[in-house]
Amino acid sequence: MRILRYILQTTLLIVVCGCAYPISQEMREKADPDLTYPVVARNPLAYRGATVIWGGVVIGEQNQSRQTVLTILETPLDYRGIPEDAVYNRGRFIARIAVGEDQAPKDYGGRKKIILAGDIVGDETRQVNGTQLRYPVVQVKELHLFPRGINSRLFRPGDYQDRYGYPDYEQSPFRGIQ
């Protein structure tokens, strides 16, 4: 009887933890859901001080003495807070993570998915393939790094057609039905 109770409690704990959104409720209430990456990227300075929740794929990391600076390829988040794959990216942003004196910088590892909450602190211009790009900069307050291989399960427009043998949306017999 005790073993069965222990198994049920452990299972319940795993289910509850597995379904939890990676960013705290407090930060989700503070963040403005209308401030998506495409909105802010047009003029990051206009949104200075605003709290956002963004995610994506880590493509660059610089460990400095008091902070870690990540370059992130921004992608939409699914309902569980898991970033989409890099092919759905909408641009890049910079995340600054403060590192205390008693902490060693973490290894965020390239190409891992990440979700973070933080305040927009401005923008930074970097050169990529000979082109100057302006990146929004976020000072991170909370973050969650996903293990490699985690996938988002958002429904995409072509999923139904792909699953049932229609190679692309244009050829689907359901096109145009309202």
pLDDT at 19: 58
- Which pLDDT tens digit goes with each residue over 136-160? 999 999 999 988 776 665 445 444 4
- Residue 105, in any domain of the structure: yes
Output the pLDDT for position 61: 92
171 within some domain: no
> What would the pLDDT profile of 68-114 be if each residue is shown by its tens digit?
999 999 999 998 899 998 888 999 999 999 987 655 567 777 788 99
Cα 7-12-14 angle, rounded to 5 deg: 95
Number of Cβ within a 10 Å radius of residue 98: 11
* Spatial contact of 67 and 99, defined as CB atoms under 8 Å apart: yes
Q: Is 17 a domain residue?
A: no
User: For residue 52, how many C-alpha atoms fall within 13 Å in the half-sphere facing its CB?
Assistant: 29
- Please state the domain count of the chain: 1
Domain that holds residue 33: 22-154
15 lies in a domain? no
Return the minimum-mean-pLDDT range out of 26-30, 36-40, 62-66, 139-143. Answer: 62-66
